[in-house]
Amino acid sequence: MKSPLSWRRGITTGIACTLFALASLVCAQPGGKVFRIGVLGQGNAPRNAVPAADFRQALHDLGYKNVTLEVRYGEGDADKLTRLADELVRMKVDLIVTIGESAASAAKRATTTIPIIATEFGEDPVKSGLVASLSRPGGNVTGLASISEELWLKRLQMLREFAPKISRIGVVMNPTNRGNVSCLTEIRAAGLGLGMQVRALEISDAKTLEAILAAIAKDPPDAFAMCWDSVTLEHAQAIAAFALKWRLPSVAPVREYVETGVLLSFGVNLPAHRRRAADLAHRIIKGEKPSGVPVEQPTHFELVVNMSTVKALGLSVPPALGALVDDVYPPRTTP
């Protein structure tokens, strides 16, 4: 027969073990399991790790301490994008986060079972066939829209507030990017309503950029509009420098272009966009089906102005826009 002391020790040990087991269970949700998430981008890998880092940090803030990101970039090659999507499926990742519409389409073709969160796409996800509807996506794809109706009309109107005499605008776009093709269509429609002539300036690499800049130097437009793409962003600084040389204002969808010298941007905040992608990932990991998770639409677009470019062009921030500016670049310094 066990002594009272031995009995009490047994009870104490049992309680401790039970508490340890419960603690282990709690800690394992969600931090204990190692989650493997595929990240598939349609363009070139960024020169820094900020996009993946934003997403990873947001997951970490949600409690995911053990996350492996399998990051792949298609570099504008449709065949490579297909191969990379298939590779992620073979790796049996828990879910796939895509960057750009071509990446989302490649992932959707590669799997009907692994959840897909589509981000940073430049065309209507319903019209492109990515989802059945925004409220009920159906299938295994949901995501975050980064566009809105008449957004390019608002951007061109803002640009004209800075330079009222604009009548001809050159659109820098990558013709291999489906979203950029949609971008050009939207700018043409917006330009028509504003009485602007629109000229497509197609670039796919440094060589085509050089040729385009040489050609438009002979007959420059009144302003530039930049379609959002890894290629146009990679060469945005060269284009912004060209625009400054010819004293031409320029507009783009996101602040990353403004940081290269473009005059202004009006669109989603990408770090916030990536944090929202992490929130969707959390919901899906916790058991929600992508088919029932609505595609989120932007609730706010930020206006960012490059004050150095404003000064270099001899302009000033129009009173009509002054109260709408969310941020400026270079950042204001505090005394």
Q: Reduce the DSSP state of residue 198 to 3 states and report it.
A: strand
What local confidence, expressed as pLDDT, does residue 121 receive? 81
**Strand arrangement of the beta sheet that strand 197-202 belongs to:** 197-202, 168-173, 223-226, 250-252, 264-267, 302-306, 327-329
**Mean pLDDT, consecutive 10-residue segments, the chain of 335 residues?**
44 39 38 85 79 89 92 91 98 95 94 96 85 94 84 96 96 91 94 96 91 92 94 93 96 96 96 93 96 92 97 95 94 62
Report phi then psi at 288, rounded to 5: -70, 145
Which candidate, 219, 220, 211, 215, places its Cα nearest to that of 243? 220
- Angle (CA) 52-57-62 rounded to 5° is 130
What local confidence, expressed as pLDDT, does residue 149 receive? 66
What local confidence, expressed as pLDDT, does residue 7 receive? 37
- If one counts every other C-beta atom within 10 angstroms of the C-beta of residue 205, the result is 13
Residue ranges and CATH numbers for the domains of the chain are: 15-146+269-292 (3.40.50.2300), 151-267+301-329 (3.40.50.2300)
What local confidence, expressed as pLDDT, does residue 127 receive? 85
CB 173 within 8 A of CB 228: no
What local confidence, expressed as pLDDT, does residue 143 receive? 95
Place of tokens 């820098």: 172
Whole-model pTM: value is: 0.84
